[in-house]
Every structure is written in C-alpha cells, then in structure tokens.
Amino acid sequence: MRLAVFLPELVRHLFKKPATVDYPFKKLEVPKDFRGTPFLHPDICIACRACERDCPAEAIEITAVSDVEKKFKMIIHNDRCVHCAQCVDSCPTNPVKAMEMDHLFELACFDRHDLKMEWIFVRALPKKEPKPAAPAAGPAPS
Amino acid sequence: MKFNIPIGPQHPALKEPISLRMTVEGEVIRDVDIRLGYNHRGLEKLAEERSFIQCIYLTERICGICSHSHATCFVQGVEKLMEIEPPKRGAYIRYLVAELERIHSHLLWLGVAGHEAGFDSFFMYTWRDREVVMDLLEMISGNRVHYAMNTIGGVRRDLDEAMVKKILDGIQVLRTRSEFYFKIGANEPTFVGRLAGVGYLSKQQAIDLCAVGPTARASGITADVRKDDPHAVYDEVPFDVCTADSCDVLGRTVVRIKELMESYKICEFLLKNLPAGQIAVKAPKRAKPNEVVSRYEAPRGENIHYIKSNGTEKPERLKVRAPTLANYPAAVEMLKNGFIADIPLIFAAIDPCICCAERTVELVNARTGEDRVLRFSQLRALAAKRSKNLPVQRNAVWPF
Amino acid sequence: MAVLKTILYLIVYPGLLFLFVYSTFCEWFDRKVYARLQNRMGPTHTGRWGLLQPVADFFKLMSKEDIVPDKADKTLFTLLPIVGLAIVVTAGLLLPLWSVSDAGAGMVSFQGDIIVLLYLLSLPTLIFFLAGWSSTNPFSEIGGTRVLTMLFGYEVPLFMAVLSPAILADSWRMAEIAQFYRDKPLLILPNLLGFVIALICVQAKLERTPFDIPHAETEIVGGTFTEYSGKKLAFFRLMTDIELVVASGLVAAVFLGGFPGGIGLGLLNFILKTLFVIFFLTLIRAMTSRIRVDQVVSFSWKYLAPLAVLQLLIVILIKGLIL
C-alpha cells in the first residue's frame, strides 16, 4: 500500500495521444469479415427461400410477383435485422453467395420504414448441383 | 430513524431495471427487499416458436455481455439432443471465444467496480485495455457484442495463421497491461479501503444460499463447472480454479483478476494446440424427443439451460437459469448491515445482469394486492385460452 | 465616478463577469486535464479545443425545464442557488487579485479579510445542506447529512493550515501575507506541509473525488442536487466553479506569494498560480477513489488535524527562534 501509486502512470499519459477517437469526425476501420447489413445479388438469387426460413428475426420477406415470369420480390427489413449473417450461411448458391453482408453499421434513421430494402428480380436458374440449404457451411480449413 | 430508500429501477449505479428497497438507519442498511420483473421479455415462449438454428441467435441475445455463454450453453444441449459432436477444431475455437469473452467480461467488471467506487481513472484504463480483446473478438467473429460464432455442430468461422498470431500478440499486450494496472489497483489505499471487509459472505452462507461463480469462489468454495463437470475441451486444458478466502468484495476482485490470468493461459494453450480439420459437422434439422440439461461456466457463474425436444425442428421447452438469479439471495445477505455507500459495490460484486435473470413474472392482482403462483401447465392453458380465437399472425408484424 | 467605478468592479472585473468567464475556463481546464490524465480527449467541439463547453453546458441548463418538487419548501428551494452564488462571488471580491493601492490590495482589503474569506467559503457547505434538506428527497437528505458530516472533518485542518502562514507573516490580511512571502521567498518552504493539507481540504470542500461523497452518483444519485434542475442547477454548477476559483486563489495567495504586478501582470500571475493549484486538485481527483464518509472523518482527525498542528508548531518555532 503506497500513496499516489497511480501518479506516474497518469502523468505519463498527460502529453500522450488519447486512446479514444474523435468518432463522428474520424472513423475506425472495421475488420474485413465484419457483419454489417445484408444485401442481395438479385442476378444470382434462385428464390429458394432458405434465408427467409432461417432468419431468426423474420427480417427477410420473399413474395412472388408474377408466377409466369418467375418474378420475385425480396424485402429486407433492416429495422428487424439482428445482423447474425445466418442468411449468408443458409444461402445455397455457390460459389458466389446471393446474400452477402457489407460493412455498413451506421444505420440510424428517423423512420423505420426508410430502412426497408427492396429488390424485384427474375429468378436465376439453379446450377447443376445446387447444394442443399445447410445450416452451417463451414469452409474446409488448411 | 429508519427510512426507506429505493435503489432502482432507475438508478445511476444500476444500468438495468431492478428495485432494491433499502431500509436504512442513518448510513447503515438494516433490511433489503429485492423486486424483480421489470424487464421480462417472454424469451422462453419465443424460443418455442423458433427452430433450433434460430434459437441460437435468440439465446445469444439473453445477455449482451455473456452472449457467447448463453449461445454455447444452448448449443451444447442441442448437440446432445441431436447426438452429434463438434469437430475438435470447432470445439477449440468455440471455447477460445468463450475464454476471450470471459476476459472481456472480467475487464468490464473491474472497470465497473472502479466506477462504482468512484475511481474513474481505473475505470478508464481497464476499459481502454478491454478494447484490445473487443477488437480481437470483432476480428474473429465479425461483431463486437453478439459474436454469433456458434452453430449446431461447430462454429461458423475459421481462424487462419495471421489471426492466431494477432490473438497471441493481443493476449500478450493484455497480460502485461493487466498485471501493471492490478498492481496499481491493489496498492491504491483509497480503492482497497473501499473494497476490503465490505459485503461479507461466509463460506457456510455461500453454500446455504447457493451462490455461484466468483461470488462463491471468493468465499473459498472451489466450484467451477469447467473443473467439476468438464465439458468439451476443458478436460484437456490445464488451468486452476481461482479462489479467495477473504469473503468480501476485495476477494471477489482478486478472484476475477486471477481468473483473467488463467484465461490468458487457457487462450494461449488453445491457440498453440489448435488442431487441423473441419470446424463444423452437418447437423440434422430435427431432434428426437428427449430432454437435456446443459451447464456452462459463464463469467458470472454457472449457467444452466434445460431443453426439451419433441421430434420437431423447434424446442418444446427452453428454460434458462442465468447465474445472476442464483446470486440474488447471497446479495441480499451481503447488503445487510452494510453502509449506503457500499450498496453499488456490493451489488456490483455479483456482476448482476438483471435482464438475463428475468425469467419470472409474479401475477399480482392490482386491486387486492394478492399474488398467486401458477404452474407452467396452468399458465399455458391460460395463454391458450386467451389466444385461441385470435388470428394467426407473424411475430414481427408491427402494429401499424 | 466612484459609484461607476464600484459598479464596474462588481459587475465586470474582478466581479461577476470576470469570475464567470474565468471559472468556466477553469472548469474546462479541469475537465481537459482530467481527461488527458485518463488517456481521453475531453471536450473538443464547442469552441476551439472545446473551450466553450462549460459555457454551453451552463446555457443549456438555463434553458431546461425547471421543476420544483411539490413537497419542497419553495422559497428556500428557489433562493438557495441565488444566495449561494452571491456568497461565492462576494468571496471572489476579497481575493487580493489586483492592486488598488501600492500595498497590493484587492477590491476590498482590510485586516482580517482572510478570516472573512474562510467564513464565506464555509457558507456554501451550509447552502448545500439546506438545499438537500429542503428538497425532501431521501437521496438529497442523505446527501445533506453527508455534507455536514464531512464539514466536521475537513474544516478544522483547513483553518489551521491556512492560518499558519498568516501567523508566520504576522498579519490577517491576505495582501500583506502575500507581500511578506514575496519579500522572503525562502519562508514559503516551511509551509509546504500546510500547502498539501490545504490542497486536500480544499478538495474536500469542493466535494471532488475522493471526497465527492455528498453527491456520489453511484450511491445516492445526485445527492444534494437530486431534485434540482434547469436554472437552479445551472446556478449551483456555476457556484461550484467559482468556489473552485476562489479556493484555489486563496491557497495561491497564502502559500504561493500572491499576485503582484498591477492589472496586467497581476492577472497573469493570478491565472498561472490558480491553474497550478487546480492542476494539483485535478491530479488528486484522478488519482484516488471515493472514500466513505466515516473514512473521511477518521482520516482528517487521525492524519490531517495532527499534521496541521505540527505545521502550526513548525511555524511558531521558526517565528520564535529565527525571526
């Protein structure tokens, strides 16, 4: 037990650069695999609805616009999304996933309806060997 | 002169809603009454309507700080129900994240303890260092709070060589920094003066009141699920159960600091012995009718999930016993005969996570004030009666 | 003309306006240094380097809704912040800040002004107690009693520590005490112990960590100020800031040789010396954790008071043997 044990450490930091970042004006980089906002590549999607089924927050909604043209509408409700990226894992398209996550995390907005994202697309044809909707698509490690 | 002061449900010391009603005499607390149920989220009911995969993300959101604990506890149980086992590499990564989470949780607690004692510099420095482990977790899993690493049958993301190196470096930084700051904390007379001898809980009391986690270990009980009932990788990893005999808040601090050091060791062991292979096995969608109890040593103590399956892809019942709930009776005992000034410290010493523990609702008749206890089946019958004639609706449809 | 001059003194310098500007600056300095000690940034955006942040906080509070509890004593509740502010500003006038005459006196200077200043600095404590008591909130009441309990701890050592240089200088007038130490700078050294004691006691008087017990936010919410909001809270905050300036000015005047050099240089001296004292106060704030109220009392009677007596003894011995 000594008096003023913290003193040297405090004074040492007095003229050092602060550890904090001036946030809204300066931003830190997010890591490369960051789970941001989900988005759809409408040209690849085969409308299998695996993402809709597995989404824990019911944030994905796929409806058929016209059965003749095989046209579908997909809505992602970003106000409900919990950013778990299960839709990316569930997506059976290979090797490029139709669902992907970007790096956006500043989603604040005045109206939750503004957070809705919509795509109307024609269903892509599945490749020859479409993988089943596996809950875990673990890549093989080295 | 005796009078009542309400601590919570809104109070700067408690960031979550709970009401502690203190009967104080001057500065001394004579009696404590704990009121729960301000933040019941109907989570267990919700779990019954989700598939097992969706339930992982639901259980993860039971707690913001030990999110991985709840998800892991749930996944362990479901894996037992489905009779699969995660591959070695998957298990190692899963418990690596668990230990990193323990580090982050304990650092967070130490900072909070500093803040509750009014030692803001200690708080700022520990939280600055906590950023290191938060960044590591973000790099591994893609998010800072809800890691979403678990899936049934393994983990979702792999580690590569560069990541392993980064984590090892980060742990080295953390170790040197924590040793340095803990030396400071242990030598600052005003800080130690606030912690020592406060919130006494004898060994016998801790056993009687079923305390868990660091609260129990600070009273000299060697209770740690990782050692008592080694799940997954813990029988391969060398580590010690940390205890203290002082039975006070200082002891709880010491236990957490020692556990931090043990966690650094465990992380290094896991990383250095990381086996090659798959990180996940394919899991079936359904589980056979069965029931299972899953135990897990969360940073705050023993976490218990009871899962019952009925052959469908949804659990029939999920029961969550968060560690905080087990520590409430001990907290009441500790608070008695303490000073008002020590309320935040004593209560924070059990590392309360109130929202995790909110599983109960007391039904009180507002007119008569009488309360009643219902069995689960009765509650279910009530709910069925109420919702029988309502149209079926999706859960997440907003009212407008 | 004389009336105009007096009004100028009272309102502009060294009265209300100057104290307002300087005390907000001191709060900024305190916050900035505190933040840098903790490896943070502190205020950055309002004004250059966040200099205007305390002013912005003040005006923000002024524009907020002002609530008086139903059960509170309304007159007392409303009057206390105003009276408190008036008291500390009056105390500020007593500082030997600026030479009116050659003797280096302040706006008001007379034999015994150090006692009056100490007395005026004791009054805010009573104001805080009454504020806590009149708001009829359990947290405020606990805060109020803690204010008084602490008063018994630090007041006596503070008086003894501040009066010992006065005894050595053989004067009860701050301007003369300062003049004495400027003439014999070496005699500042025997008072070092008293300086440290005075710093700790001033810290307790200003209710800053480790003595922020009456408004410890994690224990009793806002303590004495729990029920205060809007303009009244703004006044209380300004009052604490001005008290910081006055108390550090007192310590600087008594222990560090005052503020010589007329209007310009004297002001510079004042700023440098008070900031020096405030820096130490901030260091203490960053270095320690809050202690309990019983620990305050036992600490001050076990350590501070005997040390203050020792300081008095040293001063008396020096006075008797050397001078």
pLDDT in tens, B143-195: 888 888 888 888 888 888 888 888 999 999 988 888 887 888 778 888 888 88
Question: How close A1 comes to chain C (CA, Å)?
Answer: 13
- Please state the domain count of chain C: 1
Provide Rg for chain C, Cα atoms. 20
Question: How close A80 comes to chain B (CA, Å)?
Answer: 8
- The pLDDT of residue B392 is above 80: no
Q: Which of A7, A13, A22 sits opposite C39 (nearest CB)?
A: A13
The rounded percent of chain A whose pLDDT value lies above 90 is: 0
C265 in a structural domain: yes
Question: How close B57 comes to chain A (CA, Å)?
Answer: 7
Domain range enclosing B247? 44-357
Inter-chain contacts counted by CB atoms under 8 A, chains B and C: 78
B255 in a structural domain: yes
B63 in a structural domain: yes
Q: What is the CATH number of the domain that holds B249?
A: 1.10.645.10
- The pLDDT of residue B120 is above 50: yes
Q: What is the DSSP letter of A141?
A: P
Q: Which of B6, B125, B193 sits opposite C295 (nearest CB)?
A: B193
On whether any CB of chain A is under 8 Å from the CB of C35, the answer is yes
C73 in a structural domain: yes
Domain range enclosing C242? 64-321
On whether any CB of chain C is under 8 Å from the CB of B341, the answer is yes
**Range of lowest pLDDT (B391-400, C148-157, C278-287, C309-318):** B391-400
The rounded percent of chain B whose pLDDT value lies above 90 is: 1
**Best of A84, A113, A116 to disrupt the B interface by mutation (most B CBs within 10 Å)?**
A84
C42 in a structural domain: no
Q: What is the DSSP letter of B14?
A: B
C223 in a structural domain: yes
B34 in a structural domain: no
Up-side HSE of residue B364: CA atoms within 13 Å toward CB?
9
> Cβ contacts (< 8 Å) between B46 and chain A: which residues?
none
Q: Give the strands of the sheet with B19-25, arranged side by side.
A: B2-7, B19-25, B28-35
Structure token pair of residue B77: 């149980």
Q: Which of B89, B122, B396 sits opposite A58 (nearest CB)?
A: B396
Question: How close C239 comes to chain B (CA, Å)?
Answer: 23
Q: Which of C138, C217, C286 sits opposite B5 (nearest CB)?
A: C138
Structure token pair of residue C10: 């009272």
> Cβ contacts (< 8 Å) between A5 and chain B: which residues?
183-184, 187-188
On whether any CB of chain B is under 8 Å from the CB of A19, the answer is yes
* C141-154: average pLDDT: 87
Instruction: List the subunits that have 3+ CB pairs under 8 angstroms with C.
Output: A, B
Confidence class for position A127, pLDDT limits 50, 70, 90: low
Question: How close A140 comes to chain B (CA, Å)?
Answer: 6
Confidence class for position B391, pLDDT limits 50, 70, 90: low
CA-nearest of B38, B31, B29 to B11 is B38
Q: Which of A6, A7, A18 sits opposite C36 (nearest CB)?
A: A18
Structure token pair of residue B194: 């606030």
Q: Would you tell me how many other CB atoms lie within 10 Å of the CB of residue B120?
A: 19
Q: Which of B125, B280, B285 sits opposite A138 (nearest CB)?
A: B280
Q: What is the distance between the alpha carbons of residues C268 and C259, in angstroms, rounded to a whole number? A: 8
What size, in residues, is chain C? Answer: 323
C41 with A6: Cβ contact below 8 A: no
Residue of higher predicted confidence among B27 and B105:
B105
Mean pLDDT of chain B: 84
Whole-number pLDDT of residue A134: 47
> Cβ contacts (< 8 Å) between B55 and chain A: which residues?
56
Does the predicted interface ipTM exceed a cut of 0.95?
no
Q: What is the distance between the alpha carbons of residues B171 and B299, in angstroms, rounded to a whole number? A: 18
C37 with A14: Cβ contact below 8 A: yes
> Cβ contacts (< 8 Å) between A142 and chain B: which residues?
160, 276
Question: How close C23 comes to chain B (CA, Å)?
Answer: 23
> Cβ contacts (< 8 Å) between A35 and chain B: which residues?
142-143, 148
Q: Would you tell me how many other CB atoms lie within 10 Å of the CB of residue C306?
A: 12
Determine phi and psi for A77, rounding to 5 degrees.
-90, 95
> Cβ contacts (< 8 Å) between B122 and chain C: which residues?
289
Question: How close C133 comes to chain B (CA, Å)?
Answer: 15
Q: Which of B54, B142, B153 sits opposite A34 (nearest CB)?
A: B142
B194 in a structural domain: yes
CA-nearest of B271, B229, B238, B274 to B87 is B274
> Cβ contacts (< 8 Å) between C39 and chain A: which residues?
13, 16, 18-20
Whole-number pLDDT of residue C60: 92
Q: What is the distance between the alpha carbons of residues A14 and B345, in angstroms, rounded to a whole number? A: 29
In angstroms, the first-to-last Cα distance of chain A is: 52
* C168-174: average pLDDT: 83
Domains and CATH numbers, chain A: 32-122 (3.30.70.3270)
pLDDT digits 0-9 by tens, C37-77: 888 888 888 888 888 999 999 999 999 888 888 888 888 88
- Please state the domain count of chain B: 1
CA B123 vs CA A7, B109, C155, C289: distances in Å: 15, 9, 31, 10
Structure token pair of residue A79: 């106000």
Provide Rg for chain A, Cα atoms. 22
On whether any CB of chain C is under 8 Å from the CB of B44, the answer is no
pLDDT digits 0-9 by tens, A40-98: 888 888 888 888 888 888 888 888 888 787 888 888 888 888 888 888 888 888 778 88
On whether any CB of chain C is under 8 Å from the CB of A10, the answer is yes
Question: How close B31 comes to chain C (CA, Å)?
Answer: 16
DSSP bridge partners of B371: B364
* B95-102: average pLDDT: 90
Q: What is the distance between the alpha carbons of residues C218 and C220, in angstroms, rounded to a whole number? A: 6
C36 in a structural domain: no
Q: Which of A56, A83, A136 sits opposite B50 (nearest CB)?
A: A56
